[in-house]
């Protein structure tokens, strides 16, 4: 898979539980897209298949409107059904090499990693890009252990050739440090979706990312 297809720097991961209703959630994602987000991962693990499929169709329509890529967390079937751009799998999901046998070249494959070893395995298995973290302490990533820090991020970047996105506790004042460590971009959840002005916050992150560009593909 051509690395040129991973041409975004800000990777937004959804969490509808931040909001009280579906309309507020949809509006929040649209605000981020208006702010310039070009890649969204739909990650709503508690929904049943029909509920997730319905939401995925809405996300596909919305991301197409703003010329953004859509990735579906874990659910290869739903990603294929709605014509998503890719699928994102965790360490407990189907390995990337098995996903590739199913999707061939139809979908990009992202993999969540939390160590150098997992990053190396993801690349060997054929992942198109990875997220690595948590870089900093964050409530949403406590189950993955202590923050790995930018030193691990730097080692990962020197060891693999696919794009790497830092994730976990990345605030505006940490963007430069993450990008200086070699990241190709960052993945965010609450830093954008829990902000009071989602569009402006998105624009602020993108401005910093463009000022502190990592390796370009």
Q: Please indicate whether residue 43 is annotated as part of the active site.
A: yes
Residue keyed to tokens 């602020």: 204
End-to-end CA distance of the chain: 13
Q: Please indicate whether residue 112 is annotated as part of the active site.
A: yes
Exactly one of 69, 141, 157, 199 is catalytic; which is it?
141
Contact 21, 7 (CB under 8 A): no
Exactly one of 9, 16, 38, 43 is catalytic; which is it?
43
Exactly one of 112, 157, 195, 199 is catalytic; which is it?
112
Q: Please indicate whether residue 190 is annotated as part of the active site.
A: no
CA 49, distance to chain mean position in Å, is 21
Positions annotated as catalytic residues are 43, 112, 141
């Amino acid at each position: 898979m051509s690395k040129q297809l991973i041409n975004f720097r800000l990777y937004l991961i959804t969490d509808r539980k931040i909001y009280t209703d579906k309309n507020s959630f949809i509006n929040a994602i649209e605000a981020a897209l208006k702010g310039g987000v070009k890649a969204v991962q739909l990650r709503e693990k508690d929904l049943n298949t029909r509920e997730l499929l319905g939401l995925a169709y809405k996300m596909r329509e919305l991301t197409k409107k703003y010329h953004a890529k859509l990735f579906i967390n874990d659910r290869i079937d739903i990603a294929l059904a709605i014509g998503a751009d890719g699928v994102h799998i965790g360490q407990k999901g189907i390995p990337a090499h098995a996903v590739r046998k199913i999707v061939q070249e139809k979908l990009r494959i992202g993999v969540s990693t939390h160590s150098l070893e997992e990053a190396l395995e993801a690349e060997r298995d054929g992942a198109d890009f990875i997220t690595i973290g948590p870089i900093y302490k964050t409530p949403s990533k406590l189950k993955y252990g202590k923050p790995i820090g930018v030193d691990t991020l730097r080692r990962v970047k020197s060891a693999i050739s696919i794009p790497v996105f830092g994730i976990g506790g990345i605030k505006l004042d940490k963007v430069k440090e993450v990008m200086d460590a070699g990241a190709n971009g960052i993945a965010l959840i609450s830093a954008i979706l829990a902000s009071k002005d989602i569009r402006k916050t998105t624009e602020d992150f993108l401005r910093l990312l463009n000022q502190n560009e990592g390796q370009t593909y």
